Structure 1
């Protein structure tokens, strides 16, 4: 299996050094490059293969580095770490097509789990960030664009299993469906709810009383 090349974008700090050391202990890592200058980052992104970009909380211009990374490497996985951010910025950063959005504490505690999930195509997001975004600008903007959120019985079944952390394959087995059919149901319910991830779907469905599972705990390690 091909090993991944990482870039960490952020100024010198204890948290950055700690994150770098933890990433280096993962055996699937080929190299970790650390930069604090956006121009230097741009040169490296153009001249070298960078598979994963991790942006530290002290970055003052998330948008420039994310857009530059996407331009240089369309398939790059981008993990944004946050300590404190305005709701509008959270929403706008999610819309840039990042691959993970985590609090710094969450990332340091579970970096291997979150990286594995992100590289498998999931969208790790700290529940506090997801909830904050959904209860502010993002929820308001989606109200005017989404279709009526009446789910079919099968879509409801899929959503309930998603809410308790089941993977797509697990859902397929539980409902005796093909994985492709489950993926189709998920796309349809996302469109009806006006969302783009598992976390968003569960929060919106609970808020609109479509999903009433008081015992549900969002599993950010399996977010799709």
Structure 2
């Protein structure tokens, strides 16, 4: 993945305004060029604070306890101690830390293990820089950012259910169906708000109602169910 050294003012200004403290981020990535590019991107972006960047997860417990990050951006294939091992350790010692996998692997085995071990997001390294920043923000705000191709694979891991369900069986409104469709396509809350001409708070309100109607508790479950049952 090629990360731009800095974001344009247009990209920076289009991010959701940060009214709270910057999101504290730790990176685990063994590729030195990519690690440096990610570091430059985060240091140069308003609302984000890079507090650590490491080559592997050998000292992950000590680092997480000392640094107390909000979000961890985690590679999988690293020497000595890989990202899946690091993820499991983080969820044991600091379960509230949001771990987003950032990897080239898109096989079911790695996806399944990461999700079952507590990852809140799964992004491929071809993710554009602007989308990566939005994904980190989404994870911090309770979302479950995923590359769209990964979201589709998630449905393969769910128990077999009735595959064809009309959206009106769940009594989704036209707006809720529209927003669910945008979620399935990988749009962030900010992007949905822009496309629908509504505020981010209104998007969150609609998504909460969607969760209630679909009987799910997360964005990952909602997207997987929407695809699996062909709701959108």
Say whether the fold is shared (TM-score over 0.5).
yes
Cα shift at 1:42: 1.5
Count of aligned pairs: 197
Q: CA deviation at 1:182?
A: 6.2
Which consecutive aligned stretches of 4+ in structure 1 deviate over 4 angstroms post-superposition? Answer: 148-151, 179-182
Find the counterpart in structure 2 of residue 69 from structure 1.
90
8 Å Cα contact 2:179-2:207 kept in structure 1 = no
1:187 corresponds in structure 2 to 212
The aligned counterpart of 2:180 is 162
| Structure 1 residue 37, shift from structure 2 partner | 3.6
- Give the Å deviation of 1:196: 4.0
- Structure 1 residues 14 and 4, CA gap change in structure 2 (3 angstroms): same
- Residue 72 and residue 107 in structure 1: after superposition, are their counterparts in 2 closer, same or farther (change >3 A)? farther
Query: Any gaps of 5 or more consecutive residues in structure 2?
Result: 1-19
User: TM-score scaled to structure 2, two decimals?
Assistant: 0.68
Does the residue aligned with 1:38 lie in a helix, a strand or coil? coil
C-alpha RMSD of matched pairs (Å): 3.5
Pair 1:22–1:185, CA change in 2 (3 A): closer
Give the one of 129, 133, 136 matched to 2:154.
133
Q: Gapped runs of 5+ residues in structure 1?
A: 212-224
Q: TM-score, normalised by structure 1?
A: 0.70
Does structure 2 retain, via aligned residues, the 8 Å contact 1:82–1:102?
Answer: yes
1:1-224 to structure 2, matched below 5 A, reads 1-59=20-78, 61-108=82-129, 110-134=131-155, 136=156, 138=157, 141-143=158-160, 152-155=169-172, 157=174, 158-165=176-183, 183-191=208-216, 196-206=220-230, 210-211=231-232
